[in-house]
Structure formats: structure tokens, C-alpha cells
Amino acid sequence: MTAIPQGRARRAALVSAVCALVVSGTGLTGCSEDPDEGTNGVGKLPPAEIQRKTRTAADSAEAVRLSGSVVTSGRTYKLDMQLKADGATGSVTAQGATFQLLRIGQRLYLKADAGFWSDAGAASGDKGDAAAAGKLDGKYVKVPQGDPSYKKFSGFTEKDVLLDGLLTLHGTLATDGHHEQAGTRIIRITGDKGSGGTLDVSLEGTPYPLRLVRAGGAGTLTFSSWGKDFALKEPAKDDTVDYGKQLPTS
């Protein structure tokens, strides 16, 4: 039996210890010199190509769940939406008020408590609408397509519109290393070293986007349940209010 020099043995033990520490800290299953070993390979691509592939994957997916915050025009919206081509369901919170949205095809419903409708009526100066808030409490109010609110609210329910507007990095693209997001190995790409936003792209299976930090502190969003279908059900007639061509307060 050949003896191993003491110095070499110490170095080998140190390397093994460091490897074990890195593995346990990242959730990776091996200490390989190639961080892309066993992945879908997009981590080896230029950042622009990674972005193109992840956009293609997102556009091709039948469904997705989107959650997090978006800041636009100085206002913060908190979203938790399940989206697919023919509809969506979920919640939006803005200025302390939370409302539910349900879209099935072109039919869009908004559900909120009496406080939401009362505040809307007061803001519009319409005391009649504010007084009617109790009748709308917890009801699915059908949003008329001709009402100015329709386009605003439906924008939160349209998968392609949301993804096209959100999955954008600004400035010069670069990669920012291999990381882990919610137990999944990812490659991170950045715009202008992060000031233009960062996007985490899955290295496992389809290269879906998993997390987006928008440029300029404009919110952080996570994407999950890619390709997982969900049911959309028309609300019961007793729970639905149809105001015809215009909402009581727009």
C-alpha cells in the first residue's frame, strides 16, 4: 500500500469539505467543474439567446401563475393571478384595496367588498353609487366591454399582454452566474449589470422564467405552475350583477 503524503491528504480533505459545503448550501447534487452538467444547456448560451429562448418558452406555455408586485405610474399593484389564453382568475391589490378578477373569454367580472365600491363611489362624487355599495358586496360585477374600466382591468388577466410587458430587461444584457430559485437551478441574466432588471431562467427542463426583478425598483415577480391548466367557472347567477353598458362608478 502506497502512503499518501500528509500535505496532499490535507488538501484533498479540504477540497472535499469545501465541495460538501457548496453542495449542501446550494442544493446541487454534485461537485462538478461544469455548472451546466445535467441541465437544459441554456446556461452556456449568450444572454440574448437565453432571453429569446425563455420568451419563446413563456409564450408557448398554456398557463402560468404570476405573483408579486408591479409599480407603474407611482402606484404599486400586488398581483396573484393564474393566466391562460382564454381566461384568468386571481386577485389584485392597489392602494390598500383588494379585488378579485375573473375572465372567461371576453366576459370579465370584478368581485370586491362594500368598502371597495363605497370608496369608488366617494372618489367619483356619486353618493348614489356609494349608497349602493352594500348591494355589490361580494358579488361578481360584470364589467361592460364599453366601460373605460374594461381595458384597465382586463390587462391584468391577459397572459400574452402581461408577459410581453413584463419580461423585458433594459440595457446591455449579461449573465450573472448560476444560482438556485425555489429549489430549481437557474441562470441569471441582467440588464446593465442589474440596473436594467434581472431575470432568473430555469436550467431544469423547459427554460421558463422563474423570477423577475424589474428595472428601477418597479417590482418583483415570480412565475410558477408553467403549463399547468386550471378550471374557469362562470359565477352563479345569484352572485352576479350586470349593470349593462357601464359600471356604477368608472
Minimal CA–CA distance to 108: which of 157, 160, 66, 67? Answer: 157
Residue 148 phi/psi, 5-degree rounding, is -55, -25
Position 69, amino acid: S
Q: What whole-number percentage of the chain has pLDDT above 90?
A: 62
The reported pTM is 0.79
Residue 120 in this model has a pLDDT that exceeds 70: no
Q: Which residues pair with 111 in a beta bridge?
A: 100, 140
8-state DSSP, 33: S
Q: Quick one: pLDDT band at residue 121, thresholds 50, 70, 90?
A: low
Greatest mean pLDDT among 33-37, 130-134, 159-163 lies in 159-163
Minimal CA–CA distance to 201: which of 25, 78, 45, 63? Answer: 45
Residue 186 in this model has a pLDDT that exceeds 80: yes
* Rounded CA separation 19/240 (Å): 60
Q: Quick one: pLDDT band at residue 10, thresholds 50, 70, 90?
A: low
Residue 144 in this model has a pLDDT that exceeds 80: yes
**In angstroms, how far is CA 221 from the centroid of its own chain?**
4
Interval 221-236: pLDDT, tens: 999 999 999 999 999 9
Q: Quick one: pLDDT band at residue 3, thresholds 50, 70, 90?
A: very low
Interval 47-61: pLDDT, tens: 999 999 999 999 999
Residues 6+ apart with CB under 8 A from 137: 113, 114, 117
According to the model, what pLDDT value does residue 134 have? 74
| More confident of the two residues 153 and 122 | 153
Least confident residue range of 4-18, 21-35, 87-101: 4-18
